[in-house]
A and B are shown apart, each in its own frame.
Chain A
Amino acid sequence: MKNKNTNSGADTLLAEHMETDSGGMLRRHFLKASALVGGGLMLRFSWLSGLKPMDKMVNPNLTEQGSQLNGYIQITPDNIVKILCPNPEFGQNVMTSLPMIVAEELDVDWKNVVVEMGPHDNVKLGPQFTGGSNSVRMYWTPLRNAGASARQMLIEAAAKAWSVPASEITAKEGVLSHISGKTATYGEMAAAAANVAVPKDVQLKSAKDFTIVRNSKKNAEGPKIVTGKPLFGLDYWQEGMKIAMIEHPPAFGLKLKSFDASQALKMPGIVDVFSLKLYEDGYEQAGFDTRTFNDLLVVVGNSTWEVMNARKKLKTAWEPIGETKYNVVGWRGDKREVVVPAGLESTSAHLEKMAAYAKGAAKELRKDGDPETAFKNAAQVIERTYHAPFLAHNCMEPINFFAHVTDEQALLVGPLQGPGWIEPSLSKILNLPPEKIEIQMTRMGGGFGRRAYGHYMTEAALISRKVKSPVKLIYTREDDMTYGIYRPMYTATYRAALDANKNLIGFHVKGGGIPEHPIHANRFPAGAVDNYLAEGWEIPSNITIGAFRAPRSNFNAAAEQSFLDEVAEAMGKDPIDFRLELLQRAKTNPVGQNNEYDADRYAGVLELLKEKSGWGKPENSHKKRGVAAYFCHNSYAGHVVDMVIRDGEPYVEHVTSAMDCGIVVNPDAAINMVQGAVVDGIGNALYGALTHKDGAPEQSNFHNYRIIRHHEAPRNIDVHFVQNDIDPTGLGEPPFPPVFGAVANALYKATGNRKYMQPFTVEPPNTQG
């Protein structure tokens, strides 16, 4: 199959597919008990048992691998419970929340729990991936089963030791008690429990009995963070380690023609300067091998500053790449040829091209009823077009990786969201079997999707092999920001058809992007309108793109939620009431079969938002408020944003947030996550943009790429969760997209002007309003 356009090979598609939960549960338990050296219980279990069918899409081999015992709980005689966290941590707090789930069912005192980052093991652990708001959702059931099984075994051990029926023993907070008054700690029974048969079935707690889950626990790594312990990839150090940097072309569409390193090599501390190919010709890229530049010009030296200085002495010549073709094998095993166009692209030309494409043919993604006739017969048609730029992730920890590669083995240490997806590539490229490749996962200084693309681990490995030394590859902030793998540039034209009574009779969205379109055709308001059409088109580009916190949704929520506001206004309806009416329709008499969202849960978030924000209350009538709500990654989120114009710039003073993500495992951390998403959303909506001129990014560091700062963040963000007992869905991504829409709608109220192009503060705002 030929892929027309993307220079990503990028499986942002994966991020999308991972969102949608098609339901159905496999309850298979794989557990094995053994004795710990020195006494105690080791219960090994499978993180992958009980996975939902959609999760197997992430790795088709999971069904077979599900029987591997890959996680463990250790209980030592001194009553310390050690729980392993399998997934990379980048601030979503899995190192705390995942062990909380085990500890809940085990019923242990949280004070005695020690959390450890697990090793990376692609064979046994499957995809240890952080992204798609999946960690808690995917592991909820396997972790509960494991905790409950260990608890049951401890009870059985105590029953045997005390010669009493197990039914007379209770286990609570790490202590086993018999009705006679006999007690023992888990630690005291751990060794005996290792000889108890693993239970076939266990009773899980009822949600009302939770004592750890739903009770806030502090970040397990907090004490290390506030004392500056070396947790991050950039902090990793090994004796004899060299520092490497890559000088990449100054523009997309260029490659290295030649270089003169004679001056750079004379600089102090410089070990070597050379060029090498990341992927050899004909290499079949995996979905997350995305790279922007293939010919690497590498400077290796003894220290970071020496390498930085030597780079300034490099003499380089660059030349156009020309059209490039390569093969990509996607995450589902699908092969496709990617054609990357030649040329030096500019934002102004992008916008012109997008305007032209928007008028042309597009791929039909969903059609309900007869939209053509609805629009022809409409009394009023509202049409609006929205734009958003490329965005750079700008993780605070710049891209880096440590590698020590020899002919026999490879050690790699660093920040990566999906090490398991890059390891097979590395194995092929280095010609080393996976068991000779050890990847250690460090804490990540932010990810936001950027660290799903592991080209930099492969680069570090190749550099280490070349210089025969342990090496840490470091991207400077400028290298990081100008490398690509951006959030795509998007546009969408929305049309609404109203009849003479101002009823919504038709809805049409036609979205496009460079290099991929943003449309989620089966999302709201699909299902709520009789005549509905969704279309998409794409423009090829050599600017690389990748997943960015809530891919596609982060644009759709901005555009669609702005548009719904405009439609509500034209109909003379309150924006929340209008959305609730549509959701009522989607619930009672849905249009079409494939609507992704649950109209009840969606409406529940809007109702909660209405109540908590005092929406429509006279005391709030003076406020310049905007509302938006959105569904993605299996969860529902909405915000009411209160904006003022301060010193000529929009400022969000206060935000009310509502969210339905099912059971909230760690409430205080969840609030933190939502607050952070709100701040991140405001910042990107108002300031975020990565633009190009003649192929070169026009932003390179924080002086010309504006990131939201302390004084620009709201003083208050009130976060509310819908209370229900639904198994946890997603949390990291869902609260982010609707912020954009709420900001756009508040901006309209605050200024009287509707903004159609992000970032919203590029032009001076109109302060009349």
Chain B
Amino acid sequence: MAKYTLKVNGKTFKVDVDASTPLLWVLRDHLHLPGTKYGCGMALCGACTVHLNGAATRSCVLPVSSVGKSEITTIEGLSEQGDHPVQKAWLEHDVAQCGYCQSGQIMNAAALLKTTPNPTDEEIENFMSGNICRCGTYLRIKEAIKTASGQ
């Protein structure tokens, strides 16, 4: 066990966990931020996507020991009022069916738009291909990303 100080959604948290503990389980089990989802544990589905210094990161394979001083943003901290352009676009297009994968999809999409403000269909498909949606809402996800980008 070791002590770590984490910066999550602009707040500082101290946790005492094994160094190998993936950030996902620190967020869920220790900080009680369950918006970040467990789907596969192998960075294959994207449900656990958070931002590490603004970049999309799969938290299920990221040991807490490697987080360091990085700023972590989870779905709970993407915006204060749930009004980030991506969140608003998700509601406008009524994207979700079961909804389980959507926080990962939203975090990944928000990271895409930071680096690529006006993505093409191909850019969206490539960047989002690591995020599985079993309900098959991919079309609406793409529409929502375009709306959020102002296209």
* Contact in complex: A222, B96 (CB < 8 Å): yes
Given contacts A396-B101, A397-B100, A477-B39, contact A227 B136 (CB under 8 A): no
A395–B134 contact, CB under 8 A?
yes
Closest partner residue, chain B, to A398 (CB atom): B38
> Within the complex, which residue of B25, B82, B106, B135 is in contact with A304, where a contact is CB–CB below 8 Å?
B25
> Which residue of B is nearest A710, CB measured?
B128
- Taking the nearest CB of chain B, how far is it from the CB of A665, in angstroms? 14
Taking a contact as CB atoms closer than 8 A, the residue among B20, B98, B132 that contacts A702 in the complex is: B132
Q: Which residue of B lies closest to A445 (CB)?
A: B100
Most buried by A among B1, B32, B78, B137: B137
Assembly CA distance A672 to B140 (angstroms): 8
Q: Pick the contact of B42 from A225, A303, A701 — CB < 8 Å?
A: A701
Determine the distance from Cα of A303 to Cα of B16 in the docked complex, in whole angstroms.
12
**Total interface residues in chain B, CB < 8 Å:** 62
Contact B139 A714 (CB under 8 A): yes
Which residue of A304, A306, A715 is within 8 Å of B28 (Cβ)? A304
Indicate whether A676 sits within 8 Å of B38 (C-beta atoms), given known contacts A396-B100, A443-B99.
no
- B98 and A444 contacting across the interface, CB-CB below 8 Å: yes
* B16 CB, nearest partner CB in chain A, Å: 11
**Closest beta carbon of chain A to B39's beta carbon, Å:** 5
Task: Decide if B136 touches A680 in the complex (CB within 8 Å).
Answer: yes
Which residue from chain B places its CB closest to the CB of A217 in the assembled complex?
B94
Measured between alpha carbons, how far is A306 from B1 in the docked complex, in Å? 11
Q: Which of A226, A235, A477, A668 has the most CB of B within 10 A?
A: A226
Kindly state whether residue B149 has any CB partner on chain A within 8 Å: no
Q: How far is the CB of A306 from chain B (nearest CB, A)?
A: 7
The answer to whether the Cβ of A533 comes within 8 Å of any Cβ in the partner chain is: no
What residues of B have a CB within 8 angstroms of the CB of A753 in the complex? none
Given A223-B91, A703-B42, check contact A672 B37 (CB 8 Å).
Answer: no
Do B134 and A446 touch (CB < 8 A)? yes
Assess A225 versus B132: contact at CB under 8 Å? Given A234-B38, A714-B139, A717-B139. no
Contact, CB under 8 Å: B99 / A221: yes
Cβ of A351 within 8 Å of any chain B Cβ, yes or no, is: no
**A476 in the interface, Cβ–Cβ < 8 Å?**
yes
Q: Scoring B residues 28 to 42 as 1 if CB is less than 8 Å from chain A, else 0, what string do you get?
A: 111011111111111
Chain B binding site: helix, strand, loop or mixed by DSSP?
loop
Q: At the interface, yes or no: A134 with Cβ under 8 Å from chain B?
A: no
Contacts of A194-227 to chain B: CB distance below 8 A? 216, 218-219, 221-223, 225-227
> A491 contacts the other chain (Cβ, under 8 Å)?
no
For residue B106, give the distance in angstroms from its CB to the closest CB of chain A: 6
- Does A230 make an interface contact (CB < 8 A)? yes
Decide yes or no: A394 and B134 within 8 Å by CB, A445-B99, A702-B42 being known contacts.
yes
- Interchain CB contact under 8 A, B98 and A446: yes
Interface residue from A219, A231, A397, A717 paired with B94 (Cβ < 8 Å): A219
* A397 x B40 contact (CB < 8 A): no
Interface membership of A456, Cβ < 8 A: no
Q: Is B94 touching A222 in the complex (CB atoms < 8 A)?
A: yes
Judge if A669 is at the interface, Cβ distance under 8 Å: yes
A49 interfacial contact with B, CB 8 Å: no
Q: How far is the CA of A669 from the CA of B126 in the complex (A)?
A: 26
A35 within 8 Å of B by Cβ?
no
CB distance from A94 to the nearest CB of B (A): 12
Interface residues of B in 71-116 (CB under 8 A from A): 74-76, 78, 82, 87, 90-91, 94-103, 106
Return B133 CB to nearest CB of chain A, in Å: 7
Q: Residue B57 at the A interface, CB < 8 A?
A: no
Indicate if A386 sits at the interface (CB-CB under 8 A): no
A101 to B87, CA, bound (A): 28
Complex: A303 Cα to B25 Cα, angstroms: 8
Judge if A90 is at the interface, Cβ distance under 8 Å. yes
B138 contacts A by Cβ under 8 Å: yes
B82 touches A223 (CB 8 A): yes
1/0 contact string of A380-396 vs chain B (CB within 8 Å): 00000000000000111
Q: Which residues of B contact A714 (CB under 8 A)?
A: 139
Most buried by A among B32, B38, B44, B129: B38
Q: Are A672 and B137 in contact (CB under 8 A)?
A: yes
Partner of B134, one of A228, A308, A707: A707
> What is the bound-complex CA distance between A243 and B90, given in angstroms?
33
Instruction: Say yes or no: A680 contacts B82, CB within 8 Å.
Output: no
- Please provide the chain A residues from 441 to 481 with a CB less than 8 Å away from any CB of chain B in the complex: 443-448, 476-477
Chain B residues within 8 Å of A683, by CB:
136
CA distance A540 to B128 in the complex (A): 42
Q: Decide: A222 and B91 in contact? CB cutoff 8 A.
A: yes
Contact with B along A526-552 (1 / 0, CB 8 A): 000000000000000000000000000
A-B contact pairs, 10 of them (CB 8 A): A91-B98, A216-B94, A226-B96, A227-B75, A243-B29, A446-B135, A708-B136, A709-B131, A711-B125, A716-B139
Please name the 3 residue pairs, one residue from A and one from B, whose CB atoms are nearest each other, closest first.
Answer: A228-B35, A679-B136, A445-B100
